[in-house]
Amino acid sequence: MGLIALAVVAGVAALAYRMGYNRSRTELASLKEEMEQMEAAGKDAAIVKRVSQQMEDIAYQQKAISDQQRDRAEEQSILATQNAYRAEMESRAAHEAELKAQSAAQVAERERANAERQQEIAVEQRDEATHAKNVADTLNRRTQARSLAVSSQVRREADEPEVADLLAYASWYFLKNNRGNQYYSETFKSLTQATDGILRYKMKEGGAVNALAKVPGRPGQCVAVSNFGEVERLTVNASQGGKRISSNALLFNSLFDFRDVLIKDNSIYALSLKGPLCVLDFEGNHVEVQLPEDNYFKLVPIGDGLLVAGRKSLSWYSDGKITGSEELPGTLSAIVEREGVTCLFFTDGGYAEMDVAGRIVEKAPLLKGVVTAAYYDKASKCLLLGVEYGTVYPVNQYDRVMETMTAHKAKCMDITMLGPVVVTGGYDKTAYIWNMDNLLFESGLSFREELQKEKVEKRVSGSQEVPTEWLVPVDYTFDGWTLAVCGDEDGKSVWIGTSSGNVMLLNASADDMAQQLHNKLKRNLTQQEWTRYVGVSIPYMTFK
């Protein structure tokens, strides 16, 4: 039992030993593990300590840097404050400078405006001085032109044709280029003398030339009728001594007192005061158409026929016979056809219009006075009326009297128009030639502009240019009453008939005569001649 117990004890002791051994080993392993962990932890701690030391060093370095940055920031703050103060001072200075600049700018603007105004005044004064000089030069040339025209006529009378021609051309040239009146009487007449611008003819029987009619399509030809029963065809012919007028007598009957002549459809119609209407061809063959009454004085083309006007009645002629008559409400003084309407003027100053159907309607008079001559120009739509006291009135298409052209000192007998040129004849033995382009109106409008105006309400301001010279007509005085004027087919010349039986063909174009004269000039004025006739105020020039 003891052995068993010993064995048991020994077993128990062995078991206990083994169990203690195993526990010791376990604890040793655990301690070993802990030691290893402690060693690892110690190593980590050393590393951490070292890292911590490094981080602490870095922190100290960052703190130092931060301190430096703070110090720098403080320095920057102080500098910024200083800069802000300096900027504030500079801003104040800039504001003050801006105020000064604005004030200076205002002063400069006032000075600039004043300088501009002074410049404008200087320009105006310069322009005024230039204009005054131009006016003075223009007026000087116009005045000189008139003197040259007179000198031209004197030199021609002294038998110095070359000098006379040069002076005549210079007179026209100065007027033409200085807006002068080229129809200044002496200048126009000097051109006429230099170019043989007027041709004369005496009717074979010496009767008073009451009417003239141009031959259509035949420049330089007309038919003249007289109160002594003459009907002559006049033709301008060239000859060795220059141009002359020849005549072909188509009819002569002293019983006839011809008052008007008209050419239509290649037939000549000659109207006698107390006799028949004679219808002629250009060979002199004629027929006589009896009229219902006496005292006929005017022929008016109406459609395909003619209107034969008497003082108390109107008759219609067509196809070789009188087709009807109409009594008038008064005594007729003048008659003219105007755009399909026949204008009737009466000796009591009354006025009426007749339409194509023959209906007569009394109208308000176009002007005061008795109209004794009337002419209508289709191209310009201008109606020209001459009255018993000699004045001529241009009337535009709206029945507005545009101007008073004081002309004849006695009754105006006849009127014609060639372009802008108007020619009138009257009982004062004078023919007037007017260039309407020289006509000035108070409205500031030209003649051609006024023709288109129904009314003019106020004056139009004129330009600074030297104005066109006032219209003064050329006057030709003859040895008898100027009874008839008629434009030639060439559009430049006018036929004039007088009570003494003379017929004249006058070139009414100053420009055309000047061109003819220029072609005729053989030389220029010498310097000595220029100084003598023109003077030293106008620079020398040549015309040839």
Give pLDDT tens digits for 273-317: 987 999 999 999 999 999 988 789 999 999 889 999 999 999 999
* Stretch among 13-27, 181-195, 493-507 having the lowest mean pLDDT: 13-27
Taking the CB of residue 378, how many other CB atoms lie within 10 A of it? 10
DSSP string, 107-134: HHHHHHHHHHHHHHHHHHHHHHHHHHHH
Q: What is the pLDDT of residue 131?
A: 72
* Stretch among 440-449, 460-469, 486-495 having the lowest mean pLDDT: 460-469
Helix (H) or strand (E) holding 407: none
Q: What is the pLDDT of residue 339?
A: 92
pLDDT tens column, 92-102? 888 888 888 88
Arithmetic mean of pLDDT over the chain: 87
* Stretch among 132-146, 350-364, 373-387, 470-484 having the lowest mean pLDDT: 132-146
In whole angstroms, what is the distance from residue 328 CA to residue 26 CA? Answer: 170
Say which residue, 215 or 457, is predicted with more confidence: 215
Predicted TM-score (pTM) of the model is: 0.76
Q: What is the pLDDT of residue 104?
A: 83
* pLDDT band at residue 467 under the 50/70/90 scheme: low
State percent of the chain over pLDDT 90.
56
457 pLDDT higher than 80: no
DSSP code at position 471: P
In whole angstroms, what is the distance from residue 51 CA to residue 38 CA? Answer: 19
Helix (H) or strand (E) holding 203: none
How far is residue 220 from each of residues 132, 142, 208, 235, 237, measured CA to CA in Å?
46, 33, 21, 6, 8
Say which residue, 453 or 334, is predicted with more confidence: 334
How far is residue 201 from each of residues 205, 248, 520, measured CA to CA in Å?
12, 12, 25
Say which residue, 66 or 108, is predicted with more confidence: 108
205 pLDDT higher than 80: yes
470 pLDDT higher than 80: no
Q: What is the pLDDT of residue 164?
A: 95
In whole angstroms, what is the distance from residue 242 CA to residue 244 CA? Answer: 7
In whole angstroms, what is the distance from residue 450 CA to residue 446 CA? Answer: 6
Q: What would the two tokens of residue 388 be?
A: 């018993």
Say which residue, 497 or 146, is predicted with more confidence: 497
Look up residue 276 and give its amino acid: P
State percent of the chain over pLDDT 70.
92
* pLDDT band at residue 192 under the 50/70/90 scheme: very high
Look up residue 9 and give its amino acid: V
Helix (H) or strand (E) holding 250: strand 242-252
Q: What is the pLDDT of residue 207?
A: 95
Max avg pLDDT among 103-117, 262-276, 429-443: 262-276
pLDDT tens column, 385-422? 999 999 999 999 999 999 888 889 999 999 999 999 99
Under the phi-then-psi rule, with left for phi > 0, alpha for psi from -120 to 50, and beta for the rest, what region is 196? Answer: left
51 φ, ψ (degrees, to nearest 5): -60, -40
Lateral strand order in the sheet of 305-310: 296-302, 305-310, 313-318, 321-327
128 φ, ψ (degrees, to nearest 5): -65, -40
Average pLDDT over residues 326-354: 95
Average pLDDT over residues 225-240: 92
Taking the CB of residue 499, how many other CB atoms lie within 10 A of it? 21
119 pLDDT higher than 80: yes
Architecture of domain 196-457+469-508: 7 Propeller (2.130)
Average pLDDT over residues 481-508: 96
DSSP string, 491-524: SSEEEEEETTSEEEEEE--HHHHHHHHHHH--SP
Under the phi-then-psi rule, with left for phi > 0, alpha for psi from -120 to 50, and beta for the rest, what region is 263? Answer: beta
- Residue identified by tokens 């020398």 is 540
Q: What is the pLDDT of residue 158?
A: 94
Average pLDDT over residues 46-64: 75
- Residue identified by tokens 């004369």 is 200
How far is residue 191 from each of residues 173, 184, 540, measured CA to CA in Å?
11, 11, 21
DSSP code at position 468: P
Q: What is the pLDDT of residue 464?
A: 47
* pLDDT band at residue 73 under the 50/70/90 scheme: confident
- Residue identified by tokens 């209107």 is 307
Q: What would the two tokens of residue 238 be?
A: 């060239």
8 pLDDT higher than 60: no
Q: What is the pLDDT of residue 300?
A: 96
468 pLDDT higher than 70: no
